[in-house]
Amino acid sequence: MELTGTVIKSTGSWYQILGADDKVIQGRIRGKLRLEDSDMSNPVAVGDKVVYELDLNYADTASIVTVLPRKNHIIRKSNKLSSKRQVIAANLDLAVMVASLVSPRTSLGFIDRFLVCCEAFHIPALLYFNKTDLLNENGMEVLAEIRGIYEKAGYDCMAGSALDSGSVAELRSRFEGKTIMETGHSGAGKSTLLNNLFPGANARVMAISEHHEKGKHTTTFAEMHLLPNNTRIIDTPGIRDFGVVDVPENEIGQYFPEFRKVSLSCKFNDCQHTNEPGCAVKEAVENGEISEERYYSYLSILRGEDVFQ
């Protein structure tokens, strides 16, 4: 008998599927499905709705037969050297980047690559600047500046400390009833934020390394946490980079929302905003309408560069 369910955890070879009766079963992929999308490192991702068949001889294992069409998904390049692509999660209402400016430092280039992916895959994005309790006065000024850059570009930004219940209360109401993915560098506080938002979640958390000020990759597999009021948060392993894939060069500019309207005034309608004469985007950067940092990120993504932490 064929049943449908939602993939809530993937460990590479096994998938936890939440069935219609709210029972969780262990599923595996059938050979055919594995081959269909061979340049994907994972054909099934957390958040996927799947059709599965219970294995006859076992009480609670199943085979995944089909992945149902996705509302959306978010893909990144698995790592710098590999051409494989990884689906991080599917069927999202919101993607949240947990970005700490210190311990570890999150670069603007990393944030911008995340935002380009969200634009390209039509997923609403929110930037949560975490660990504000670690910032001194100067740090708070830097944060305000960075926040200004993204708010001006049209993005939703929030800042606070994942350790402080007061500062996460607003986030809790924003998340209610939605399926949300949290992403960011290892140690930025994704699991801490989840635990503080929903104390029942019980996600594993670990202090960052004292030597490198970087996280220890505590969360090792993406996992969807089923929370009250139909809220679902997908906690994901920390990543170093958000390799932009499946975005043709001449479309990258469209995924910078603040470029879109301005670029209508570029002299050439295929303007890539690099060295062309009469480029309205470059002009907007010069007069401060578009932030220099965002423009540099654009050029860097256009050159196919990756971010190194």
Residues found near ligand GTP in the complex (CB under 6 A): 130-131, 133-134, 161-163, 184, 186-192, 205-208, 215-219, 237-238
CA-based R_g, the chain, Å: 20
How far apart are the C-alpha atoms of 14 and 25, rounded to whole Å?
10
C-beta of residue 111 within 8 angstroms of C-beta of residue 150: yes
Q: Is 191 in the site for Mg ion (CB under 5 A)?
A: yes
Question: Which residue in the set 273, 293, 294, 297 belongs to the binding site for Zn ion (CB under 5 A)?
Answer: 273
Q: Binding residue for Mg ion (CB under 5 A) from 6, 103, 219, 291? A: 219
Q: Which does 206 bind (CB under 5 to 8 A by kind): ligand GTP, Mg ion, Zn ion, none?
A: ligand GTP
* Residue number, 23 or 217, with CB nearest to Mg ion: 217
CA 264/CA 56 separation, integer angstroms:
60
Q: Are 42 and 15 in contact (CB under 8 A)?
A: no
Least distance from C-beta 98 to Mg ion, angstroms? 9
Judged by beta carbon distances under 5 to 8 A according to partner kind, the member of Mg ion, ligand GTP, Zn ion, none in contact with residue 217 is ligand GTP
279 touches Zn ion by CB under 5 A = yes
* CA-angle at 243, arms to 202 and 6, nearest 5°: 40
Sign for the pseudo-dihedral over CA of 26, 37, 12, 233: negative
Adjacent-strand bridge partners of 52: 3, 64
Identify any residues that bridge with 90 across adjacent strands, giving them in sequence order.
Answer: 73
* Cα distance between residue 51 and residue 27, in whole Å: 10
Stretch that binds Mg ion, among 103-111, 169-177, 215-223, 292-300 (CB under 5 A): 215-223
Q: To the nearest whole angstrom, how small is the minimum distance from the Cβ of residue 270 to Zn ion?
A: 9
Judged by beta carbon distances under 5 to 8 A according to partner kind, the member of ligand GTP, Zn ion, Mg ion, none in contact with residue 271 is: Zn ion
Footprint on this chain of Mg ion (rule: CB under 5 A):
190-191, 218-219
Q: Which residues bind Zn ion (CB under 5 A)?
A: 266, 271, 273, 279, 281
